[in-house]
């Protein structure tokens, strides 16, 4: 028999990263998390979702930052300070919250392709997600616009046509619904949310480092 | 003429600390802030308020952690992690949110006595505030109970009788109303909130260090 261990290294700890592309604080989180996870030896699973249905179940028909103006004014100011500290550009998008269903479906096409290959980060999914956030909040582009998404795909060397077609497939539409439902079942109520293999939930850009450390410690 | 400077040191930067005694995340913040502010050379002004009227203006009749159960479950778990990291005991109080009008009025008696003497921290006000949070969230006592507040005062060497009488005075009642109205005018929507002399607002235990650093840098 082959010796155990030498050829089967321990699996890296996995952290699920749930996010909604319209979420402001998810911008610094998703932009930052790749290098931090690599340094920590934590494998990420990017899981785009739609917060709309989750907010609707709470009785909200838009972002709480719009429903509660003082909280919204604070959020934009706080986000500006957070981005300044990180050296990230910040430009308010033209529509807030953006309509992100198409962006999320496109992301699932890219992330799913990687998953189908059995290699998490082999595809363009994660790079697309980071680029969508940079476009939305770094450059203030409206990521509801299919042309903007096509630009992003092209910038990643991906042919936009087939991807946008795949994003409209019944399978991808169902996948996004299922993912959003699973997030709600896991008690996720905001973005970004981080969930360890053991089910520990962390919410917010402020908890990114703690979530990685927890995933690593409890793997 | 006397030389300038030697006897008139620059005034320390001041940070207003607004808080509601029922607020969970204000527990670690108020317990921690005294030593951190002293180390940073920042003078604190403790300003108790009532979140009830502010929440009511947003259409809420209780804490958002009760209105949105998933968010509430997360908050208690997150608070447990925060307190564990800080080595602070955590016991859920019997009523949440606690009725804190009397505690806030008593605090104003203590804080106001210090202000009347021209010495911010000369009285027992700040120590009382810290002790109320420790009783409420460290020991799980109901700080709506006048007997609990009397215990706390006695433990600080303060005769409870005259203080509780003063807390019921028209002047103190008006003061708490005015403070809560001023907080709303300053766009405060949650607790703890930190406001620098220049009007920069920081919200939450997570922003305590940043608020102190900002106050110091911009003084």
Q: In this predicted model, what pLDDT tens digit does every residue of A47-66 receive, in sequence order?
A: 999 999 998 988 888 888 98
CA–CA separation, A207 and A22 (whole Å): 19
- Taking only the tens place, the pLDDT of each residue in A121-166 is 458 999 999 999 999 999 999 999 999 999 999 999 999 999 999 9
Decide if B5 is inside a domain.
no
**At B38, which CATH number?**
3.40.30.10
pLDDT averaged over chain A? 92
- Distances, alpha carbon B1 to alpha carbons A65, B4, B9, B178, in Å: 57, 9, 17, 43
Cβ count within 10 A of residue A213: 13
Min Cα distance B75 → chain A (Å) is 10
pLDDT computed for residue A115 by the predictor: 57
- For chain A, say whether B68 makes contact (Cβ under 8 Å): yes
Q: Does residue A192 surpass a pLDDT of 90?
A: yes
Residues 6+ apart with CB under 8 A from B96: B22, B24, B63, B65, B66
Torsion A23-A29-A35-A41 (CA) sign:
negative
Decide if A176 is inside a domain.
yes
Q: Is A71 in Cβ contact with B190 (below 8 Å)?
A: yes
Decide if B9 is inside a domain.
no
Q: Is A187 in Cβ contact with B78 (below 8 Å)?
A: no
Decide if A8 is inside a domain.
no
- For chain A, say whether B218 makes contact (Cβ under 8 Å): no
Decide if B2 is inside a domain.
no
Domain count, chain A: 1
CA–CA separation, A120 and A209 (whole Å): 21
Decide if A9 is inside a domain.
no
B172 and B109 Cβ atoms separated by less than 8 Å: yes
Q: Is A210 in Cβ contact with B70 (below 8 Å)?
A: no
Domain span at B189 = 14-217
Q: What is the dihedral of CA B144, B185, B15, B191, to 10 degrees?
A: 40
| pLDDT-derived band at A6, boundaries 50, 70, 90 | very low
Of B68, B73, B189, the CB nearest to A74: B189
Decide if B194 is inside a domain.
yes
pLDDT computed for residue A4 by the predictor: 46
In this structure, of A150-159, B58-67, B88-97, the range with the lowest mean pLDDT score is B58-67
A205 and A192 Cβ atoms separated by less than 8 Å: yes
pLDDT computed for residue A114 by the predictor: 54
CA–CA separation, A121 and A124 (whole Å): 7
Q: Is A188 in Cβ contact with B70 (below 8 Å)?
A: yes
Decide if B18 is inside a domain.
yes
Interface test mutation site (partner B, options A25, A49, A86, A189, max chain B beta carbons within 10 A) = A189
B16 and B46 Cβ atoms separated by less than 8 Å: no
């Amino acid at each position: 028999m082959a010796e155990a261990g030498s050829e089967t290294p321990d699996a890296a700890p996995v952290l699920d990263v749930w996010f909604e592309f319209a979420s402001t604080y998810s911008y610094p989180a998703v932009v930052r998390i790749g290098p931090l996870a690599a340094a920590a030896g934590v494998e990420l699973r990017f899981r785009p979702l739609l917060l709309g249905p989750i907010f609707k179940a709470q009785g909200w028909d838009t972002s709480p930052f719009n429903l509660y103006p003082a909280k919204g004014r604070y959020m934009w100011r706080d986000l500006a300070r957070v981005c300044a500290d990180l050296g990230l550009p910040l430009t308010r998008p033209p529509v807030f919250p953006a309509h992100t269903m198409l962006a999320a479906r496109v992301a699932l096409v890219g992330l799913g392709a990687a998953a189908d290959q059995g290699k998490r980060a082999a595809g363009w999914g994660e790079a697309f997600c980071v680029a969508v956030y940079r476009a939305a909040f770094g450059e203030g582009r409206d990521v509801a616009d299919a042309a903007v998404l096509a630009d992003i795909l092209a910038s990643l060397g991906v042919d936009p046509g087939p991807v946008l077609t795949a994003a409209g497939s019944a399978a991808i539409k169902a996948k996004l619904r299922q993912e959003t439902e699973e997030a709600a079942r896991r008690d996720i109520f905001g973005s970004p949310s981080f969930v360890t293999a053991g089910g520990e939930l962390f919410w917010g850009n402020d908890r990114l480092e703690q979530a990685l450390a927890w995933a690593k410690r409890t793997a």
